[in-house]
Structure 1
């Protein structure tokens, strides 16, 4: 359950950031790229936390 406490705000924040960036840059190529980068960063963060949690479970579970 610990993982969801961190991943959910990060995911929603990343999506919101991508949407806001697209509005600000008027959906230009740069805006789209920034949105994709933001979402990829959120996904990377989620997988990193998942791995960290798995390691924690192995050593302390």
Structure 2
């Protein structure tokens, strides 16, 4: 069963927009999660360095 070679470039072009959307979504989600982690890390770093909290958890 032979597949016409004209269908492969057409299918490749159809895949580009969903791949771009997935890339943008991933980048945005990763950036937001990274910002959230920085906020949490900073919050707990300030708490642990406060006077009188040595060894407190």
How many residues are treated as equivalent by the alignment?
35
Which structure 2 segments of 5+ residues have no match? 1-11, 47-57
* TM-score, scaled to structure 2: 0.55
1:33 to 18, 31, 56: 18
Q: CA RMSD in A?
A: 1.1
Between Structure 1 and Structure 2, the one with more helix by share is 1
Moved over 3 A (4+): none
